[in-house]
Amino acid sequence: MGFSYLGFLVMVCCLQLVVLVSGSTKNLPIINFDEGYTHLFGEDNLVVVRDGKSVHLSLDERTGSGFVSQDLYLHGFFSASIKLPADYTAGVVVAFYMSNGDMFENNHDEIDFEFLGNIRGKDWRIQTNIYGNGSTNIGREERYNLWFDPAEDYHQYSILWTDSQIIFYVDNVPIREFKRTESMGGDFPSKPMTLYATIWDGSDWATNGGKYRVNYKYAPYIAEFSDLVLHGCAVDPIEHMARCDNAEGSEGIPTGVTRVQRIKMEGFRKKHMTYSYCYDHIRYKVPPSECVINPQEAERLRTFDPVTFGNGRRHHSKRHHHSRTSQAKVTSSI
């Protein structure tokens, strides 16, 4: 796909998405699994239920499991209601993410929701991450606690991706707004991607840097997905033609962050964010160019971890960044 043609696709998709998206996320164009997704790996560990409206992914001693969208997308709104495994879940990783690593091995793009399990009595943590043009050496991670137990019921997790911004939502509350800057260059995701959902064993890093591992005594670990939304500009990988969705119910697709949502987002980040690469003085002496420093966020994180977010000198060996693409390749070959 040539650069000029890709630029044309971006322009067309942006114009069509402006026409297609508006309103709240209460009325969404939900699809059945077979309408937009296909099996990725895991054999019988993927089960489609409720007449195709929901999917159960499980992890056991043999393998994890996952599914993938049938189409590539260049921008759009992507969502699922997810119920996570309960009880002891240390080392378990559930991921809902976009990637094109199978097409662009050396310069792939990625937009991640990752859910990191924990020991009994400790809450699941949620992590978001963004890679552009293979920029895995610059991790753009954020981590948060949630204001609810994600294993008790379904909750909606959504990604809005346009040519100028990426927004992560939880139950219609934006938790992160990532805006494209000129200085980022190709580090902003700009090539067509597919959407993935997986569950897998991340014992080496997911819980306390690998201190607590998956205990298969509690298997199978089951993640449930429902209310599946794939709404965007699908790109034919052969003909390079963009086809933007205009399904009924698209009036519920958001275009950005409303005034009320921004207040909620600021409140969430002040209370629940536990890590942001923008404030990590150990990794970045000078914050990356796209970072907008919020003094209140900075102070809260500095209180939470004065070494990482303050002027401490002790070096942390714990890696925060983890590309989803390499894991997808490993698990899909199981």
Bridge partners (DSSP) of residue 175 are: none
The CA-based diameter of the chain, rounded to the nearest angstrom, is 56
Q: Which are the contacts of 273, defined by CB distance < 8 A and separation ≥ 6? A: 142, 143, 144, 297, 300, 301
Between CA 93 and CA 126 the distance in angstroms is: 10
| CA 277-332-210 angle, 5° bins | 45
Task: Pick the catalytic residue from 114, 141, 142, 297.
Answer: 114
Measure CA of the first residue to CA of the last residue in the chain; give whole Å: 30
> For residue 37, how far is the Cα from the chain centroid?
17
DSSP 277: G
Cβ partners under 8 Å of residue 261, min gap 6: 172, 173, 174
Nearest CA to 37 out of 53, 58, 60 is that of 53
Among this protein's residues, is 248 annotated catalytic? no
**120 Cβ contact partners less than 8 Å away, ≥ 6 residues apart:** 87, 88
- The CA dihedral of 231, 262, 111, 66, to the nearest 10 degrees, is -60
Alpha helices in 47-155 (DSSP H): none
Q: Which residue among the candidates 105, 110, 177, 239 is catalytic per the annotation?
A: 110
d(CA 159, CA 110): 12
- Catalytic annotation on 110? yes
Could you list the active site residues?
A: 110, 114
